[in-house]
Structure 1
Amino acid sequence: MRILYNLFFILFALVYLPYFLIKKKAHKDFMQRFGIFDKGLLLGMARARPIWIHAVSVGEMKTTEGLIERIKTLFPSKRLVISNVTKTGHEIALSIAAKEDIVIYLPLDLTFIVKKVIKEINPCLFISIETEIWPNLISALHDNKIPIALLNGRISAKSFANYMLIKPVMSNILSKITLFAMRAKDDAARIIELGAPSDRVKVTGNMKFDMIYKVSDTAARSFFPIEKSDLWLPHQAKLIIAGSTHRGEDQKILGAFKSLKGDFPDARLLIAPRHIERVNEIAALISKFDFTPVRMSEIISGRDAHFLDDCVFLLDSIGNLKVLYQIAAIVIMGGSLVPQGGHNFVEPAAYAKPIITGPFVDNFKDMAELFLNERALLVADDEEELAKYLRELLFDEHKRKIMGENARKVVMDNVGSTERNALLIMDLVYHG
């Protein structure tokens, strides 16, 4: 099995090479994935025995930000190596890493590459966020007697079924991991069934709830509008924010909004795409629905949009959505009206906003159940039901308030996972 796995990555690397050459991808990106780093980048790391944290992409990186801050408090002299797979995750990591820390792309999971990188970094601890399992990397870390912690771990029912098909392989890999800090009891039960030693499995909660401590980000507040008047909106306007939308969702949201706009003239819509490169595509779609697209960058640069009753706002920058949530009347969480697994809705919940999702919330199933049980979430199966829920909430201010208060209570009742995980990390660093 290991031979087949390595052959797969060798073939992948052969395909990867011409792609990078043709697309002229960043040199650093390409080289680091093969374990080749700029001269001096990892200088002194082997002696420093850093903590190596791996967070695959944007969502995992944002979840980890509070943990990184706590680790720096617990170990002020400890350096960090932060690795990612995606470019967007890499950019987030660069923005939060301290000067003395290093941000790299995770090398391909080929034995000879990961052994080389581990030798150069020589971490005292490796932390994988959520369920990033790289067999060769884990084996090489284990062979070097480096503790491995899987934090904020989750195993969906679908992933569990797939992993069970290769249970002997999974059991062998999981036996090499030192700590499993899982989100919920179901996740813990599944990882144990797959072969994780039960005495190494803890249930510490979901660190995504602790992201509320980031919604008051002072930098974002300093440079971005946070009042209705900043968007040329009258006080009575009710702003609907569709956050982190994916292709296929914007049309449904615009359709639902158009169907109710005549009955609620004070309603406004702001669409914030998950991927910023879709802005032009969405602007064209807004026009097709007979609305005027107004980009947030235009508002910031001084465009007067107060006369545009038919406008739909379009967020065309990264990192500012969480600040805008505080002026929303209703939040539609993207990635859930199409099969994308949903996105984290802790940030709008922390602002006590009523939240609507679609039916596809596989990535946040446990969180969605908590919110549903507390009547803090509405799930719309289609465009028609989305319009229905929007109408109900726009009409009933009391219902909006109660849903929002319930949402905030769910968040406040579930914070603390980051601190619990940080204490487990402290124990591993000191005792292995």
Structure 2
Amino acid sequence: MTPLQRLALALYGLTTWLAQPLLRRKLRRRARQEAGYAQAVGERFGRYGSGGPAQPGALLWIHAVSLGETRAAALLLRELRALQPGLRLLLTHGTATGRAEGAKLLQPGDVQVWLPWDTPGAVRRFVQRFRPAIGILMETEIWPNLAACCRAEGVPLVLANARLNEKSRRGAQRLAWLSRPAYAGLRAVWAQTEADAQRLREVGARDVQVLGNVKFDVHPDPEQLARGHAWRAAAARPVVLLASSREGEEALWLDAVGRLADADRRSVQWLIVPRHPQRFDAVEQLLRAAGLGVARRSQWPQQGDAPPAGDVWLGDSMGEMALYYGLAQVALLGGSFERLGGQNLIEAAACGCPVVMGPHTFNFAQAAKLAAAAGAALPVADMAQAVAQALALAHDAPAWRQCVQQCQAFAGAHRGAARAMAQAALALLARP
């Protein structure tokens, strides 16, 4: 690290230290919507109770900032545990939904905490308290002080399932005095695509390999999928899903559906599953304000009978996307109709649910491109086109069956990244 880079890191560390009161205020505000943000707040600042330091090298650390990264981490962890039974895990997160999902992955002897705010003191206390044998950061989560501390403490740090879109590459290069040492300090980078690998090299990463996307290794919950299929068979109309919708997209959907002829609008059963649980109530209010009857998932039967009647079914549950994809004939891809980069379409394909995606898929650019080429996803320009395309496919049984087959073939053709990354991680652990 050059003197200028050391100075930049020191100034950055001072800035993050001064920003701690703002972080505490933000956490209090978020906790009013999601109680999980009030949990173990001290951990956010590197305070982990009275226990002594862990035995060096006893824990394999995986950081999965939010829900999507945690689900990807689960696929990697499944392979790691298969290859090395008895592995002890240190699992960290940044969001309440990520932590709640991560709790499902824990086994006796594992540890789950918040990753601290990126101040020099907090990350030093974190690393010295847990002394992980290796750190695996999922997808994009690089913090300058954390990277510098791991390097100083001899903890090899890896970026797994790594992706870097063009916008993020430009941002990293504008802040190269700070970001370049962080990327250069990574022991290895396992990229999803060659395009991601090239951008990561441009921002300073060194040992970069393309191992694929672990999200292709998803295996949908068979019970959820079977229940969804049963409910779809019992439904009076084809089901069209707006999956993992983000703020603003439900309004776009209301506008597009409102322009349809009444017979077309009522020819399908609409289902909306917001991405974030804190928005469930707001989305219901939006739909009711538009004059629509809403039946929330929390009011459906747990087993047996089909969902109750309603103009719109609202999926207000977490961890049931396989059920929703099994229930739907076709899904509109949330996050792709606003400039948000799109959500993960691989799980939909693995469930055999064709996807109609908007123009903004930069977070999953390669997967979106491959899915479109395979006929598993249909790209459109806007929400109005998406609604029209979904209706056409839902009412064309031969075309729909062909899309289902193409989804399953697409999902199956790209599996294996999770095993490759697990093997690479254990090989790195075995090095002296």
Normalised TM-score (structure 2): 0.90
> Contact 2:232–2:239 (CA<8 Å) still a contact in 1?
no
What RMSD over aligned residues (CA atoms) do the two structures have, in Å? 2.5
| CA shift for structure 1 position 261 | 5.2
Structure 1 residues 303, 257: CA separation in 2 closer, same or farther (over 3 Å shift)? farther
Rounded to whole Å, the distance in 1 between the matches of 2:185 and 2:281 is 47
| CA shift for structure 1 position 394 | 2.7
| CA shift for structure 1 position 372 | 1.6
Structure 1 residues 307, 139: CA separation in 2 closer, same or farther (over 3 Å shift)? closer
Percent identity among equivalent residues? 25
Q: Which residue of 1 aligns with 2:389?
A: 389
Q: Which residue of 2 aligns with 1:11?
A: 18
Moved more, 155-164 or 166-175: 166-175
Rounded to whole Å, the distance in 1 between the matches of 2:70 and 2:126 is 21
> Contact 1:353–1:405 (CA<8 Å) still a contact in 2?
no
Q: Which residue of 2 aligns with 1:203?
A: 210
Rounded to whole Å, the distance in 1 between the matches of 2:59 and 2:426 is 13
What's the secondary structure of 1:331's corresponding residue?
Answer: strand
Rounded to whole Å, the distance in 1 between the matches of 2:205 and 2:399 is 45
Q: How does 1:184-223 map to 2 (within 5 A)?
A: 184-197=193-206, 200-211=207-218, 213=219, 215-216=220-221, 218=223, 220=224
| CA shift for structure 1 position 97 | 1.4
Is it true that 1:269 corresponds to 2:270 in the alignment?
Answer: yes
Question: Structure 2 unaligned runs (5+)?
Answer: 1-7
Structure 1 residues 194, 247: CA separation in 2 closer, same or farther (over 3 Å shift)? closer
Q: Which residue of 2 aligns with 1:297?
A: 298
Partner amino acid, structure 2, of 1:124? A
Matched length: 420
| CA shift for structure 1 position 121 | 0.7
Structure 1 residues 409, 260: CA separation in 2 closer, same or farther (over 3 Å shift)? farther
Out of 102, 111, 119, the residue aligned to residue 110 of structure 1 is: 119
Q: Which residue of 1 aligns with 2:5?
A: none
> Contact 1:46–1:119 (CA<8 Å) still a contact in 2?
no
Partner amino acid, structure 1, of 2:121? F
Partner amino acid, structure 2, of 1:57? S
> Contact 2:46–2:121 (CA<8 Å) still a contact in 1?
no
Structure 1 residues 313, 303: CA separation in 2 closer, same or farther (over 3 Å shift)? farther
Rounded to whole Å, the distance in 1 between the matches of 2:284 and 2:118 is 40
Structure 1 residues 409, 306: CA separation in 2 closer, same or farther (over 3 Å shift)? closer
Partner amino acid, structure 1, of 2:191? M
> Contact 2:241–2:272 (CA<8 Å) still a contact in 1?
yes
> Contact 2:336–2:360 (CA<8 Å) still a contact in 1?
yes
Is it true that 1:120 corresponds to 2:129 in the alignment?
Answer: yes
| CA shift for structure 1 position 19 | 4.7
Is it true that 1:342 corresponds to 2:349 in the alignment?
Answer: no
Rounded to whole Å, the distance in 1 between the matches of 2:114 and 2:278 is 22
> Contact 1:261–1:267 (CA<8 Å) still a contact in 2?
no
Rounded to whole Å, the distance in 2 between the matches of 1:238 and 1:21 is 43
What's the secondary structure of 1:243's corresponding residue?
Answer: strand
> Contact 2:193–2:210 (CA<8 Å) still a contact in 1?
yes
Rounded to whole Å, the distance in 2 between the matches of 1:151 and 1:30 is 27
Partner amino acid, structure 2, of 1:356? V
> Contact 1:46–1:120 (CA<8 Å) still a contact in 2?
no
> Contact 2:232–2:326 (CA<8 Å) still a contact in 1?
no
Rounded to whole Å, the distance in 1 between the matches of 2:366 and 2:422 is 22
Rounded to whole Å, the distance in 1 between the matches of 2:308 and 2:48 is 54
Structure 1 residues 217, 100: CA separation in 2 closer, same or farther (over 3 Å shift)? farther
Structure 1 residues 34, 385: CA separation in 2 closer, same or farther (over 3 Å shift)? same
Partner amino acid, structure 2, of 1:182? A
Structure 1 residues 324, 166: CA separation in 2 closer, same or farther (over 3 Å shift)? closer
| CA shift for structure 1 position 146 | 1.8
Q: How does 1:164-243 map to 2 (within 5 A)?
A: 164-197=173-206, 200-211=207-218, 213=219, 215-216=220-221, 218=223, 220=224, 225-229=227-231, 233-234=235-236, 237-243=237-243
| CA shift for structure 1 position 74 | 2.1
Partner amino acid, structure 1, of 2:378? L
Q: How does 1:93-108 map to 2 (within 5 A)?
A: 93-108=102-117
Q: Which residue of 2 aligns with 1:356?
A: 356
Is it true that 1:142 corresponds to 2:144 in the alignment?
Answer: no
Structure 1 residues 188, 133: CA separation in 2 closer, same or farther (over 3 Å shift)? same
What's the secondary structure of 1:155's corresponding residue?
Answer: coil
> Contact 1:82–1:93 (CA<8 Å) still a contact in 2?
yes
| CA shift for structure 1 position 303 | 12
Structure 1 residues 5, 101: CA separation in 2 closer, same or farther (over 3 Å shift)? same
> Contact 2:140–2:164 (CA<8 Å) still a contact in 1?
yes
Structure 1 residues 165, 47: CA separation in 2 closer, same or farther (over 3 Å shift)? closer
Is it true that 1:405 corresponds to 2:384 in the alignment?
Answer: no
Rounded to whole Å, the distance in 1 between the matches of 2:63 and 2:138 is 6
Per-residue deviation, residues 88-143 of structure 1 (Å, max 9, x unmatched): 11111112211221111001111122122211111111111112111111111112
> Contact 1:231–1:305 (CA<8 Å) still a contact in 2?
no
| CA shift for structure 1 position 311 | 2.2
> Contact 1:154–1:187 (CA<8 Å) still a contact in 2?
yes
Rounded to whole Å, the distance in 1 between the matches of 2:205 and 2:26 is 37
